[in-house]
């Protein structure tokens, strides 16, 4: 499988991969403003076959750090630190709440269709 071999300041941290069906991401963020000045490296993804979100690391970085990512072909990876599945019912509740909040903010009127009786 394709994988990311991740190094920080010359030290190998882990090898991350999601197999043949999924998404693998490595993100370096700089968050500034509102009394924040942070640097982070996050490596994670989605294993489509199991619908699992996975995260290997969320590393705090500092000025001068050297992040290296090598794309490799391998049969083995390091286990992710975190795995979870999303809750589709909770996602729907969150989406509805967001829509209601936006409707209120922009003074929109939401029109819903009546629920079908069972």
Q: How far apart are CA 69 and CA 15, in angstroms?
A: 9
Q: How far apart are CA 27 and CA 38, in angstroms?
A: 13
Note the pTM of the prediction, 2 decimals: 0.72
| Residue 59 domain flag | yes
| Residue 15 domain flag | yes
| Residue 16 domain flag | yes
* Per-residue pLDDT, 117: 67
| Residue 46 domain flag | yes
| Residue 103 domain flag | no
Task: Give residues with Cβ within 8 angstroms of 62, minimum separation 6.
Answer: 39
| Residue 56 domain flag | yes
When comparing pLDDT for 7 and 51, which is higher? 7
Q: How many domains does the chain have?
A: 1
The string of pLDDT tens digits covering residues 18-55 is 998 999 999 999 999 999 999 999 999 999 998 899 99
| Residue 100 domain flag | no
| Residue 112 domain flag | no
Q: How far apart are CA 54 and CA 45, in angstroms?
A: 5
* Per-residue pLDDT, 18: 95
Cβ(39)–Cβ(61) below 8 Å? yes
The string of pLDDT tens digits covering residues 55-83 is 999 999 999 999 999 999 999 999 999 99
* Per-residue pLDDT, 16: 98
| Structural domain of 8 | 2-86
């Amino acid at each position: 499988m394709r994988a990311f071999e991740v190094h920080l300041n010359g030290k190998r941290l882990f090898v991350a991969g999601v197999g043949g069906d999924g998404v693998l991401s490595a993100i370096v963020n700089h968050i500034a403003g509102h009394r924040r000045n942070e640097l982070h490296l996050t490596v994670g993804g989605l294993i489509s076959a199991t619908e699992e979100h996975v995260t290997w690391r969320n590393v705090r970085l500092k000025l001068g750090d050297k992040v290296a990512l090598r794309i490799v072909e391998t049969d083995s990876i390091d286990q992710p630190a975190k795995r979870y599945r999303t809750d589709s019912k909770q996602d729907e509740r969150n989406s509805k709440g967001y829509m209601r909040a936006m409707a209120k903010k922009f003074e929109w009127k939401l029109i819903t269709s009546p629920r079908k009786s069972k």
